[in-house]
């Protein structure tokens, strides 16, 4: 046997911010809710996990038969670094804060060390996850890591929503922590601030309208969404930026430099390089995961240029018309029209 306090103590020594424990029972209600939203058509069909079996994701027995406990963890990624490296004549597109570095990989490494510690002390088997494919948000709530904000992201009392989640599934029995208490009260700032209206009701996100989700979906971005896209190259965090529960979160020193790409990337370079070079330059980060389509990143870069409205970028946009990729050609036309008309 190993005591939960021993696990938490060692986890904190490894630099993990919060560690909680829950049982390994399936998340049946949550699976039903995900399915309901899928049936309502709120997911993008081409998302890499769309075809995955929801019941399997929501039951850790499918990951480790005989699992008895889930050790849930979170790591804060808020730092006080500059948020945009744009220079005169060198427009940049923004990268969402959670992926300036590969925090998932960093947390997985720490959790693996913790898993080996548990194995040494108790003989238990374990598996480590971060960024799926397990039901990370339901695990976070049931274990006490945090509660759902109305933007459908988990909020921790100390670190707000500036956290990545990770888990160890193990077959050792552990006393569980209690479910996270807390809620948003009357606030609905995130719903009001979302530029695309993707938060269609509290806690429910229409991923077909969410810039975060659309930045790695490939297709032509509808005009009403492209118009409010701004200079986002990958991800969106407006709903987190406006959240009052994030205001008091203290910035941390960067935890890792694994997969560092920083807060923004030079757009003209993104449009000039090929996929192999893109994957080499920004390796080890979520923005080059195998399921990320490089043309989607270039499409985002074109939309960004439409917003930045620097006429010296016109030749770069024109290079995409005509183009053997119809989506890029159409997006370049959209960006040129916006750049010329200014709206």
Distance of closest approach, residue 161 Cβ to ligand SF4, in angstroms: 7
Nearer to ligand SF4, 98 or 334 (CB): 98
Distance of closest approach, residue 171 Cβ to ligand SF4, in angstroms: 35
Closest Cα to residue 268, out of 91, 96, 87? 91
User: Max Cα separation, the chain?
Assistant: 69
Distance of closest approach, residue 40 Cβ to ligand SF4, in angstroms: 16
* Through-space distance between the first and last CA atoms of the chain, rounded to whole angstroms: 65
Distance of closest approach, residue 147 Cβ to ligand SF4, in angstroms: 9
Instruction: Answer whether 11's CB lies under 8 Å from 73's CB.
Output: yes
Say which DSSP state 69 is in.
Answer: E
Nearer to ligand SF4, 107 or 155 (CB): 155
Nearer to ligand SF4, 37 or 125 (CB): 37
Q: Which residue is nearest to ligand SF4 (CB)?
A: 149
Nearer to ligand SF4, 14 or 242 (CB): 242
Q: How far apart are CA 211 and CA 215, in angstroms?
A: 6
Nearer to ligand SF4, 115 or 235 (CB): 235
Instruction: Answer whether 291's CB lies under 8 Å from 217's CB.
Output: no
Nearer to ligand SF4, 8 or 97 (CB): 97
Say which DSSP state 178 is in.
Answer: P
Instruction: Answer whether 247's CB lies under 8 Å from 263's CB.
Output: no
Task: Retrieve residue 144's tokens.
Answer: 């006490």
Distance of closest approach, residue 283 Cβ to ligand SF4, in angstroms: 25
Nearer to ligand SF4, 134 or 238 (CB): 238
Distance of closest approach, residue 139 Cβ to ligand SF4, in angstroms: 19
Distance of closest approach, residue 190 Cβ to ligand SF4, in angstroms: 3
Distance of closest approach, residue 71 Cβ to ligand SF4, in angstroms: 26
Other CB atoms within 10 Å distance of the CB of residue 274: 9
Length reported for the chain: 343
Instruction: Answer whether 210's CB lies under 8 Å from 229's CB.
Output: no
Q: How far apart are CA 191 and CA 199, in angstroms?
A: 6
Beta strands in the chain (DSSP E): 18-23, 69-76, 92-95, 126-130, 147-148, 154-155, 163-170, 199-201, 204-205, 232-234, 264-266
Distance of closest approach, residue 135 Cβ to ligand SF4, in angstroms: 20
Residues 305, 310, 312, 317, Cα dihedral to 10°: 20
Interface residue list for ligand SF4 (CB under 6 A): 149-151, 184, 187-190, 194, 196, 198-199, 205, 210-212, 236, 238-239, 242-245
Nearer to ligand SF4, 140 or 317 (CB): 140
Nearer to ligand SF4, 170 or 231 (CB): 231
Task: Retrieve residue 158's tokens.
Answer: 């100390």
Q: How far apart are CA 139 and CA 73, in angstroms?
A: 10
Say which DSSP state 260 is in.
Answer: -
């Amino acid at each position: 046997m190993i005591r939960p306090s021993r696990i938490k103590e060692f986890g904190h020594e490894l630099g993990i911010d919060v560690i909680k424990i829950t049982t390994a029972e399936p998340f049946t209600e949550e699976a039903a809710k995900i399915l309901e939203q899928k049936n309502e058509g709120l997911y993008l069909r081409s998302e890499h996990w769309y075809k995955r079996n929801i019941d399997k994701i929501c039951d850790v027995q499918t990951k480790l038969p005989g699992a008895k406990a889930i050790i849930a963890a979170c790591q804060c990624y808020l730092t006080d670094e500059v948020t945009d490296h744009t220079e005169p004549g060198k427009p940049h597109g923004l990268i969402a804060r959670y992926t300036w570095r590969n925090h998932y990989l960093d947390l997985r490494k720490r959790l693996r060390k913790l898993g080996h510690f548990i194995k040494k002390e108790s003989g238990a088997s374990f598996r480590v996850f971060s960024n799926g494919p397990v039901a990370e948000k339901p695990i976070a709530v049931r274990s006490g890591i945090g509660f759902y904000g109305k933007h459908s992201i988990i909020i921790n009392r100390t670190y707000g929503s500036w956290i990545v989640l990770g888990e160890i599934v193990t077959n050792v029995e552990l006393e569980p922590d209690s479910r996270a208490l807390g809620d948003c009260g009357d606030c609905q700032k995130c719903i009001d601030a979302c530029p695309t209206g993707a938060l269609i009701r509290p806690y429910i996100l229409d991923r077909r309208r969410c810039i975060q989700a659309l930045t790695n979906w490939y297709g032509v971005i509808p005009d009403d969404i492209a118009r409010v896209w701004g200079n986002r190259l990958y991800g969106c965090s407006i709903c987190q930026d406006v959240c009052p529960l994030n205001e008091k979160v203290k910035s941390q020193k960067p935890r890792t430099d694994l997969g560092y790409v920083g807060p923004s990337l030079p757009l003209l370079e993104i449009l000039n390089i090929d996929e192999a070079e893109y994957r080499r330059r920004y390796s080890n980060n979520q923005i080059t995961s195998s399921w990320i389509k490089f043309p989607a990143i270039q499409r985002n870069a074109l939309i960004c240029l439409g917003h930045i409205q620097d006429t010296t970028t016109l030749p770069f946009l024109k290079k995409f018309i005509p183009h053997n990729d119809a989506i890029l050609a159409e997006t370049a036309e959209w960006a040129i029209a916006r750049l010329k008309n200014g709206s």
